[in-house]
Structure 1
């Protein structure tokens, strides 16, 4: 079903932000970014965002430089907050975090937060280009305005507050898929490097496999192995221990039943007492999620989607990417709430589909996903429930697993109501204009 540009698209294509608009966007963006970095004035967050996960990154890199094992029980020192956390990342991550270890926690916190926010602007701009929203002259301004809002979604807020690298990984993946040229020899390398820092981006090799881009899929594996091998040269004993022992002990990462764990595995652990029943239900539901992902990907026609740079195909390519991203979040045994930063591109896509689709049913589906997703991911409902999941009632389980339920709904929508763009010239015709979109499609 084609996704037709509207008069709003034509207006956005022709919009040239005035000086007042640029100043307003700049001030709003700056204020929003600063409050994310230093906290909201007159609240408990002001001046107290110590970014505990960032501290673990720093301590891990410092530990390795002092010749101490990253993965021995109790080897990690306490964080600046007085909390002990293990180093759960691959050895290559410790190498990547060496520059952070050379900074104080405060400086590193500011650096990671500010660069993460800048990368959100890049992420949103990429998605706007994929969806053919706006023009080359205004997309950065649209992206900055959007970023000022979406960094307050719970996954982004937590990522920035903890000093996590989720936004870095999201940016690497989208740049690999939508910025590098389809025939570039580097295509796949950024996903491989991201996977060597955290293993979960490996699921995106499925994007290349579905598109039959075999060289890019192989490049993911080669770059991942090369990064792991580089780490093995510098830290052979830690590498051996991680890949043969630590990797398989997932319980050291955290409590899988905790409300912050937002995936199908945790859903059943919280809902069902029997361990065997939990495992069976997880397998069945993961199979269902996998089937939905496959159907959603097939509906988006991945081979054609990644073979062309036309707007009609780019939106299909984004649908493939989102389907695989959400699938990976759902089936992973550990998916912390802040891992759901993929909701940023997902909500942008849903809102555009809701505005552009010529079919009322599709409009309502994606409008519902946009509104419900904005509420769910802004609030983070699991944080409002009792910490003891044994005290949860049926409604608590529905609310407390809302990230998963929303993700499943998105997969169903991408399957049954795929979104496709019409030729961008339709937008110009609607406005009666003669704007040369080919010259402004950056």
Structure 2
């Protein structure tokens, strides 16, 4: 077998050698890091379990209320929605139907099952990423990687509220990295978009890589969710898709201190919130064009995981509002960091991507397992524009660096 060429340095293709420590010293260091990851995993899980046993998970509570509204014929939006927490349901009607199983269990059991499923979903994302990055024993390696991922504030906040984002990331990752059965590939992105519209952006990969079947299945599945929702709740579907869908503030106002999207950075710098969202209309188009171009180059270079991270960042920074748990998808950067540090014998390291993911992860690192009681990063530094927005700023920096990586990448065929 021929030695891998230096031009293959960052490729994610499975036909290249599996990544592993290159020296005895590297093996010892890798073992120590894996052990640290396991310690962090146990430490974080103890905190997570303690949190859901003692606290009400706000967001999954709203999802359960929506499922109950479907079962009992209650309203889903506005004053008609019977919300125990007082928070609104902001997803399409079909999403409420998918939450009906949450009503089959008592609150405590439901919250524990949701949390455990969230942890499994995060592990699933990391396992797929590790395998696509050619890490040996990927499913096992993903376990200590989960320990490090649980030290990232977005995933911690996801677990604190009982959010849905990690499940959407799981579906998108399976589709984009090719782990969904071929006949079904694309449906994951379509279903995720039918639950929460933003995952529709990931279909851009199907477009630029000319995966027409996947693109068609993605669009078809999304349209099916709309039709099914319309059949179940025609009046509320009309309201959602003609009014609620266009409400840019449904996730909170741009100036909300948890908002790490560009709108939040602008609004917290003094710009009027509505103006910030207006500015980001052409801004969204610019980011979409840049993302499409970069995704096209990265896909041709055989770098699907880097493509996935690029789009996760593009969606997050360009959203009307992206509070920190909306950034949960950045856990894929943990896998990228591990693969870049290990490298492959005979290949040069991709230092620019290494810098990009290191900046992103460092800005989101929160070494605390007191889920629900500790202050989030943005609140720790409230009043200091630079520090309270460091997660969003790091996301923009990483996005820009990945654009440069895309520009420098070489198509596999060349």
Q: State whether TM-score is above 0.5.
A: yes
Q: Report the equivalent of 1:90.
A: 92
Q: 1:368 to 1:320 in 2, by over 3 A?
A: closer
For the 8 Å contact 1:204–1:324, the answer to whether it is kept is yes
Q: Report the equivalent of 2:245.
A: 247
Matches within 5 A, 1:17-416: 29-39=41-51, 47-73=53-79, 75-79=81-85, 84-134=86-136, 138-180=137-179, 184-274=182-272, 278-279=276-277, 281-283=279-281, 285-300=283-298, 302=299, 304=300, 313=302, 316-356=303-343, 362-363=350-351, 365-379=352-366, 381-386=377-382, 392=383, 396-416=384-404
Aligned partner of residue 78 in structure 2, secondary structure: coil
Find the aligned partners of 1:229 and 1:349 in 2 and give their Cα distance. 38
Find the aligned partners of 2:358 and 2:185 in 1 and give their Cα distance. 35
Find the aligned partners of 1:257 and 1:176 in 2 and give their Cα distance. 34
Find the aligned partners of 1:181 and 1:48 in 2 and give their Cα distance. 37
For the 8 Å contact 1:86–1:253, the answer to whether it is kept is no
Gaps of 5+ in 2: 1-6, 11-16, 28-32, 367-375
Residue by residue, what CA displacement relative to the aligned partner does 1:328-353 show, whole Å, maximum 9, x if unpaired?
11111021110111211023214423
Q: 1:26 to 1:404 in 2, by over 3 A?
A: closer
Find the aligned partners of 1:354 and 1:409 in 2 and give their Cα distance. 20
Alpha-carbon distance, 1:327 to partner: 0.8
Gaps of 5+ in 1: 16-20, 40-45, 306-312, 387-391, 424-442
For the 8 Å contact 2:19–2:343, the answer to whether it is kept is no
Residue by residue, what CA displacement relative to the aligned partner does 1:217-270 show, whole Å, maximum 9, x if unpaired?
111111111122222222222212211222222324322211111111222122
Aligned partner of residue 250 in structure 1, secondary structure: coil
Alpha-carbon distance, 1:115 to partner: 1.0
For the 8 Å contact 1:2–1:420, the answer to whether it is kept is no
Alpha-carbon distance, 1:166 to partner: 0.8
For the 8 Å contact 1:33–1:114, the answer to whether it is kept is no
Residue by residue, what CA displacement relative to the aligned partner does 1:128-176 show, whole Å, maximum 9, x if unpaired?
1111111xxx322211111122122111101111011111111111112
Alpha-carbon distance, 1:385 to partner: 2.5
For the 8 Å contact 1:192–1:202, the answer to whether it is kept is yes
Greater Cα offset, 371-380 or 263-272 = 371-380
Aligned partner of residue 194 in structure 1, secondary structure: helix
What RMSD over aligned residues (CA atoms) do the two structures have, in Å? 3.4
Alpha-carbon distance, 1:52 to partner: 0.3
Find the aligned partners of 1:61 and 1:9 in 2 and give their Cα distance. 48
1:2 partnered with 2:8 = yes
Alpha-carbon distance, 1:273 to partner: 3.3
Find the aligned partners of 2:87 and 2:104 in 1 and give their Cα distance. 20
Find the aligned partners of 1:218 and 1:422 in 2 and give their Cα distance. 25
Find the aligned partners of 1:47 and 1:337 in 2 and give their Cα distance. 23
Runs of 4 or more off by more than 6 Å in structure 1? Answer: 4-7, 21-28, 419-423
For the 8 Å contact 2:149–2:331, the answer to whether it is kept is yes
Q: How many residues align?
A: 385
Residue by residue, what CA displacement relative to the aligned partner does 1:270-329 show, whole Å, maximum 9, x if unpaired?
2133467535643454455335424422431x2x46xxxxxxx2xx12222222221111
Aligned partner of residue 185 in structure 1, secondary structure: helix
For the 8 Å contact 1:272–1:278, the answer to whether it is kept is no
For the 8 Å contact 1:180–1:186, the answer to whether it is kept is no
Find the aligned partners of 1:25 and 1:368 in 2 and give their Cα distance. 21
Q: 1:422 to 1:29 in 2, by over 3 A?
A: farther
- Say which one has the larger Rg: 1
